[in-house]
Amino acid sequence: MSILSGKNILLGITGGIAAYKTASLVRLFVKSGANVKVVMTPASKEFVTPLTLSTLSKNPVYSTFTNEDEDTEVWNNHVDLGLWADLLIVAPATANTLAKMANGVCDNLLMATYLSAKCPVYFAPAMDLDMYKHATTKQSFEKLNTFGNIMIPATSGELASGLVGEGRMAEPEEIFSFIEADVLGKLPLKGKKVLITAGPTYEAIDPVRFIGNHSSGKMGFEIARAAANLGAEVILISGPTAQKVSHSLIQQIPVVSAEDMFNAVHTYFNSCDIAILSAAVADYRPKEVAHQKIKKKSSTLTLELEKTKDILASLGVIKKQQYLVGFALETNDELENAKGKLKRKNLNLIVLNSLNDKGAGFKGDTNKVTFIDDQDNITAFELKTKSEVAIDLLNKIISHI
Ligand code: CTP
């Protein structure tokens, strides 16, 4: 999954021959899972049709302040468009549009949207080589740079005029990769390794039976997704679960038993920066595992259980730079029990959820949590979706590291 998946991308197209390449650019963004809207300057429609772009973007294309084609006039609100955008990309950016952007000239819908947008702005210049070299164009680049706008430099090659030189708009694939890398590079967990455990563990009784629990793994998978979306490299060690995730930054390691999970966690822990152990690990396992299926001979069956290794506690003993987070699912004396676990297992943070709270815990899509950190700060949250809880948790961790 691309880091641009789910992002709202507003593409501003201006009147240069390179506008024909924006059809491919829209396709790349759509394929990455982004939501794409297009604003065209009137001149750009000479080079590529709004129909092509609306078909590819699956959205109406905006060009004027009111919709010309409709019977009833519709106001294309540049403020709404600007606020909708997570990223604004002006490609191709002609010398004319760059000069307008640099000087706040607001004579079309794209310029009004540019001035209203609060998101990062990228621009991909495209013009003939002498225009590209001209002092006024250079001035526009410099001014836009001081505004924080990001240039995707033009490349050298054959230009529409037949001349050869600098001024060709970067290819759509290059623009796409540039933006993807730039967004990724600015994410708060970029360069961090996050280890996450999720799901239940199954402890074998015999070849066909096991002791397990009701954990769905949803909470851990949501944390993995949120961490990857914040730029982290994620190792997701998961017990048997129906959850699925597909993200270029998530490496999933399936395990079955507490012992498997212990070994996998210790393989990766040394090199990680943050470890979040949300798995519902079995506390006990059968002392002996029968090699053959146990037959129902008598009216009762007694299994002797032994303790599994406490993975979280073992990390608390060896941790160095790692920020260590555990979960506590409690039914009584919740705060006291959770604080006890935080200290006993040498954690930086514990996420408490109580089975007494409706909507909290194992199976559902929601959770109601309280964070307790090693400075004794306690933050209680409302009932939220597990994906919102995951974001709250990572924001809390980011504020600490
Ligand atoms: N945990 C673990 N390894 C185990 C058991 C638990 O890593 N063998 C982790 C869980 O992933 C979770 C936290 O420890 O982060 C919760 O532990 P829990 O089982 O609630 O606490 P215990 O200290 O085992 O106490 P109790 O079961 O008595 O409540």
pLDDT at residue 241 greater than cutoff 70: yes
d(Cα 239, Cα 256) in Å, to the nearest integer? Answer: 5
**Which atom from ligand 1 is nearest to the alpha carbon of 325?**
15
Q: Is residue 220 within 8 Å of residue 250, measured between CB atoms?
A: no
Ligand 1 centroid to Cα of residue 385, in Å, is 23
Which residue among the candidates 213, 263, 337, 346 is catalytic per the annotation? 213
pLDDT tens-digit map of 252-276? 999 999 999 999 999 999 999 999 9
Q: Is residue 61 within 8 Å of residue 53, measured between CB atoms?
A: yes
Task: Clarify whether 77 is annotated catalytic.
Answer: no
Predicted local distance difference test score (pLDDT) of residue 130: 94
Ligand 1 centroid to Cα of residue 194, in Å, is 19
pLDDT tens-digit map of 94-103? 999 999 999 9
pLDDT tens-digit map of 15-69? 999 999 999 999 999 999 999 999 999 999 999 999 999 999 999 999 988 876 6
pLDDT at residue 356 greater than cutoff 80: no
For the Cβ of 328 lying below 6 angstroms from any atom of ligand 1, the answer is: yes
For the Cβ of 312 lying below 6 angstroms from any atom of ligand 1, the answer is: yes
Best of 202, 262, 312, 371 to mutate for ligand 1, by most ligand atoms within 8 A of CB?
A: 312
For the Cβ of 238 lying below 6 angstroms from any atom of ligand 1, the answer is: no
| Count of Cβ atoms closer than 10 Å to residue 299 Cβ | 5
pLDDT at residue 222 greater than cutoff 80: yes
DSSP E strands: which ranges in 138-230?
150-151, 155-158, 164-168, 193-198, 203-204, 210-211
358: tokens are 């409706």
**Which atom from ligand 1 is nearest to the alpha carbon of 197?**
11
Ligand 1 atom 9: residue of nearest CA: 312
Provide the whole-model pTM.
0.79
| Count of Cβ atoms closer than 10 Å to residue 333 Cβ | 10
Best of 201, 310, 337 to mutate for ligand 1, by most ligand atoms within 8 A of CB?
A: 310
Ligand 1 atom 27: residue of nearest CA: 283
Which position has the token pair 């679960």?
Answer: 241
Ligand 1 atom 20: residue of nearest CA: 328
Predicted local distance difference test score (pLDDT) of residue 326: 98
What is the rounded average pLDDT of the residues 194-222? 97
Q: Delineate the domains of the chain, giving CATH numbers in brackets.
A: 8-185 (3.40.50.1950), 193-400 (3.40.50.10300)
Q: Is residue 82 within 8 Å of residue 50, measured between CB atoms?
A: no
